[in-house]
Amino acid sequence: MYKVCISTQVEAFLRTLAPTPKQRVRAAIAALSTQRGDFKALENELIGFHRLKVGRHRIVFCYVEGKTIDCIFAEERKLVYEVFAALLRENLDA
What residues contact residue 8 under an 8 Å CB cut-off, 6+ apart?
none
Q: What total of structural domains would you count in the chain?
A: 1
Query: CB atoms < 10 A from the CB of 77, how many?
Result: 13
Count how many residues are written for the chain.
94
Q: What is the pLDDT of residues 20-60, one digit of tens each?
A: 999 999 999 999 999 999 999 999 889 999 999 999 999 99
Residue-range definition of the domain harbouring residue 55: 3-93
Q: What is the CATH number of the domain that holds 88?
A: 3.30.2310.20
The upper half-sphere exposure of residue 71, i.e. CA atoms within 13 Å in the direction of its Cβ, equals 28
pTM over 0.95: no
Mean pLDDT over each residue of the chain, to the nearest integer = 93
Q: Is the pLDDT of residue 79 over 80?
A: yes
CB burial of residue 86 (10 Å; 0-12, 13-18, 19+): exposed
Q: Which of 80, 4, 94, 2 is nearest to 42 (CA)?
A: 80
